């Protein structure tokens, strides 16, 4: 594993250390402080408390711009995957940049509509278990495309469309049986997974759908998984989709869209030797090469790749603890605040918010091996095991990096813990986009007997 003296190396400049100076004319360096854009994280922790999610608006913009630039020569729409981070402040930022959205529930659709009802025209509705109520809401909103996951869902959607007299534009999500080389919980493109329709059945279903009055066949959809760090699986999936599109067009179907899904991974552990713009360009080439000559409109569903490195979870050390030779840092954040390490054994870089000059830096000899854990009564409540970190004291602040995706959206109230607030930083501006949950918020839905 490589360690970097600057967490921003190989990432957008969201989180980086700035020198702290004191004394006459501030000439004396006394250490360095981790900042989000131009704001010290220590100041945010003092103002909003911990645990605290912090996001960089500039980093989100930079990564979306890199994505758009990579596909600039291709007809395309970026449909941000709302499940990665569904905070209204993030969605509003992306909608303002002309982004579309990929939703997998009626609740996610409602979030997009609350931000901008006009954005519905750039929404693709995915998900393996759409309800009648969700279908009706999406038809009423006028979404761009339904990604249909099964034959049963196809006919349920046809019934809803006939009842509302709204035509449903559809793509069948096909299962290309392509291994994604990722964690088994987030791999979705093999026959044993619950997602999609086998390629062998697609042609027949397209023929049946095209004869249905209120269904309009418009595209083909595919999604093979998440956190995929090599482009070869994407290229293989597109080759199979391209072959299917040629067959379908020969059958007389007017296929306009190919939804390539999402899944492009980020570097949680090893810092990138290339910048994100380079990786996005490689991804674009892998997708487009098999599609040359088809004249399709490409739909893209990035989520983690856009917001992951733009966020961090700020937490404070409550206690240092030693059990024999084992050392622990007990934080005020827990698995209910960021469950990825517990759920996937996922790696997140953890760094001190403040470092004292000449006594501590990320590569100094004053390091120790610790388990970084939370206060929840579960042995699975951890952020890192056997991690080498700079020596840390009670009360010190730590930043858990790359927490912009699948962080806040997966929070819970386990152990009756209150969910953290979220702050969006844009240069020197700070905006609270979700306040800290209160006990009244948590207990309000419950029926309390006198």
Q: How far apart are alpha carbons 429 and 406 in whole angstroms?
A: 24
Q: 36, 79, 99, 377: which is the annotated catalytic residue?
A: 377
* CA distances from residue 69 to 27, 74, 75 in whole angstroms, order as listed: 42, 10, 12
Query: Is 377 labeled as catalytic in the residue annotation?
Result: yes
**175 token code pair:** 């299962």
**Distance separating alpha carbons of residues 169 and 238, to the nearest angstrom:** 21
Distance CA(405)–CA(311), nearest Å, equals 8
Spatial distance between the Cα atoms of 34 and 306, rounded to a whole number of angstroms: 21
416/57 Cα distance (integer angstroms)? 31
Instruction: Report yes or no: 178 and 189 within 8 Å, Cβ to Cβ.
Output: yes
Q: At what angle do helices 57-70 and 276-288 cross, to 10 degrees?
A: 30
The tokens of 185 are what?
Answer: 């919980």
Give the residue numbers annotated as catalytic, written as ranges. Answer: 377
């Amino acid at each position: 594993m490589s360690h970097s003296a600057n967490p921003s190396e190989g990432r957008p400049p969201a989180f980086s250390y700035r020198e702290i100076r004191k004394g006459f004319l501030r000439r004396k360096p006394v250490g360095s402080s981790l900042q989000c854009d131009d704001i010290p994280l220590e100041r945010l922790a003092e103002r909003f408390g911990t645990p605290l999610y912090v996001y960089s608006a500039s980093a989100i913009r930079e990564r979306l711009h890199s994505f758009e630039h990579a596909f600039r020569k291709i007809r395309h729409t970026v449909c941000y995957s709302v499940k990665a981070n569904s905070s209204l402040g993030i969605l509003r930022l992306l909608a303002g940049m002309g982004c579309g959205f990929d939703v997998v529930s009626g609740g996610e659709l409602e979030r997009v509509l609350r931000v901008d009802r006009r954005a519905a025209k750039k929404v693709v509705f995915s998900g393996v278990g759409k309800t009648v109520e969700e279908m009706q809401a999406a038809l009423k909103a006028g979404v761009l495309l339904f990604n249909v996951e099964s034959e049963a869902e196809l006919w349920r959607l046809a019934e809803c469309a006939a009842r509302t007299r709204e035509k449903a534009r559809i793509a069948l999500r096909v299962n290309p049986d392509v291994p994604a080389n990722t964690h088994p919980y987030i791999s979705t493109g093999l026959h044993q997974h619950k997602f999609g329709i086998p390629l062998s059945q697609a042609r027949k279903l397209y023929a049946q759908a095209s004869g249905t009055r209120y269904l309009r066949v418009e595209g083909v959809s595919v999604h093979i998984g998440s956190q995929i760090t090599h482009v070869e699986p994407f290229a293989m999936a597109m080759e199979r989709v391209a072959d299917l599109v040629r067959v379908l067009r020969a059958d007389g179907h007017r296929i306009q869209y190919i939804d390539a899904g999402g899944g492009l991974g980020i570097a949680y552990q090893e810092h990138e030797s290339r910048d994100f713009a380079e990786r996005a360009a490689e991804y674009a080439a892998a997708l487009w090469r098999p599609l040359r000559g088809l004249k399709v409109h490409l739909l893209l569903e990035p989520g983690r790749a856009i917001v992951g490195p733009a966020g961090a979870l700020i937490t404070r050390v409550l206690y240092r603890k030693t059990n024999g030779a084992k050392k622990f840092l007990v934080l005020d954040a827990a698995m209910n605040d960021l469950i990825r390490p517990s759920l996937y054994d996922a790696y997140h870089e953890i760094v001190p918010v403040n470092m004292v000059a000449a006594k501590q830096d990320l590569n100094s000899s004053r390091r120790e091996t610790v388990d970084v854990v939370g206060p929840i009564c579960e042995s699975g409540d951890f952020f890192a095991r056997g991690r080498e970190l700079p020596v840390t004291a009670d009360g010190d602040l730590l930043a858990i990096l790359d927490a912009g995706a699948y962080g806040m959206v997966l929070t819970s109230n386990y152990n009756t813990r209150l969910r953290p607030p979220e702050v969006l930083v844009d240069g020197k501006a700070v905006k609270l986009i979700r306040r800290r949950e209160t006990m009244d918020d948590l207990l309000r839905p419950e029926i309390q007997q006198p």
